[in-house]
Every structure is written in C-alpha cells, then in structure tokens.
C-alpha cells in the first residue's frame, strides 16, 4: 500500500513507447504560411512571398517539362493542406533535382534547390539566376548527398506522393 510517489515524468517515461509512434504528429493551430498571408501590416513581405511562390511553380513546371519522358520516380508534396509540417509548404525531389519552399519563423518564404548530375541543369540555372538576387533563395548541398536524400525520401514518404515523369 505504501508505494513511493512517482513524478509525472517517471510515469510518462514508463508508459510511452517511442517505437509505437513512428508517424509524425499532427500540428494543431495555424501554419506559418497562413499567419504570413493573414498579416496585412507588411504589404512588401506579402508581395515578396507571393513572388517567391510563383517562382517556385514556374521552376517546377519547367523541371517537369524538361524531365518528362524519363520514366523516373519523383516525390512531390503540398504540405499546406496536411498537418505534418509547420514550416514546409511544397517539396519536389527527384534523383537529379531538389526544390523546397517553406515559410520561415519571420513569416518570409524561402526557396532551396540542389542539383546532382541533372541533364537540364543549365536551363534551370538560367531560370534561377534572376531570382538569386533575393536573399531567400539559396542553393544547398544535402547531407550526405542528393542521391542518398532522394532514396531516404522515397523510403519514408507514403506512396501516394510518388509520381513518374
């Protein structure tokens, strides 16, 4: 009857099994991009965000046209509608090109891209060159490399986000 008192942390550690919860938890509340769109005090920021989102879709459309017919598997996801990520908005990952748009903590959108033996790299760089003046657009090197990142994305993400070009 006289059991020692346990703190809530001890009880939680004993009852929670990390192996049972492998799926990402749903986010409650509004996402960053929703708050950024609702802010009317900073019209310049909203215009910059809209322009960067348009640029994302322009680059994405060009990538799909250039890679069409390669019969390669790629990952594409619109994170705005699901509750899996607070910052992410859109992602496109193929074996040779990576494109990612997110809304950062300061309510500004940022665009990341990367290449790995991409046959249409010159055309895409030409499309991205005028955008490089924007500080929110940057070329990144994925760790350890894009090929490994691509394989990991395909292994982790659900199949309904995978498509063929």
What pTM did the predictor assign?
0.77
Question: Can you give the pLDDT at residue 100?
Answer: 93
Q: How confident is the model at residue 144 (pLDDT cuts 50, 70, 90)?
A: confident
Question: Can you give the pLDDT at residue 131?
Answer: 74
- Are 108 and 39 in contact, with CB atoms under 8 Å apart? no
Residues 6+ apart with CB under 8 A from 80: 31, 33, 89, 90
Which among 14, 141, 34 is positioned nearest to 79, based on CA atoms? 34
Q: What is the pLDDT of residues 82-98, one digit of tens each?
A: 777 788 899 999 998 99
Percent composition of the chain: helix, strand, coil (DSSP 3-state, to 5): 40, 20, 40
Return the percentage of the chain with pLDDT > 70, whole number. 79
Q: What is the pLDDT of residues 13-62, one digit of tens each?
A: 444 554 444 455 555 667 777 788 777 666 788 888 888 899 899 999 99
Task: Please give the mean pLDDT across all residues of the chain.
Answer: 79
């Amino acid at each position: 009857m006289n059991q020692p008192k346990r703190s809530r942390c001890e009880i939680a550690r004993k009852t929670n099994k990390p192996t049972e919860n492998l799926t990402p938890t749903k986010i409650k509340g509004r996402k960053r991009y929703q708050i950024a769109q609702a802010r009317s005090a900073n019209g310049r920021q909203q215009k910059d965000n809209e322009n960067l989102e348009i640029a994302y879709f322009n680059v994405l459309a060009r990538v799909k046209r250039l890679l069409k017919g390669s019969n390669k598997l790629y990952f594409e996801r619109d994170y705005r509608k699901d509750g899996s990520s607070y910052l992410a908005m859109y992602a496109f990952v193929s074996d040779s090109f990576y494109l990612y748009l997110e809304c950062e903590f300061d309510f500004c959108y940022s665009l990341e891209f990367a290449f790995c033996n991409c046959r249409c790299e010159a055309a895409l760089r030409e499309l991205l060159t005028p955008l490089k003046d924007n500080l929110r657009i940057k070329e990144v090197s994925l760790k350890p490399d894009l090929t490994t990142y691509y394989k990991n994305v395909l292994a982790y993400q659900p199949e309904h986000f995978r498509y063929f070009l």
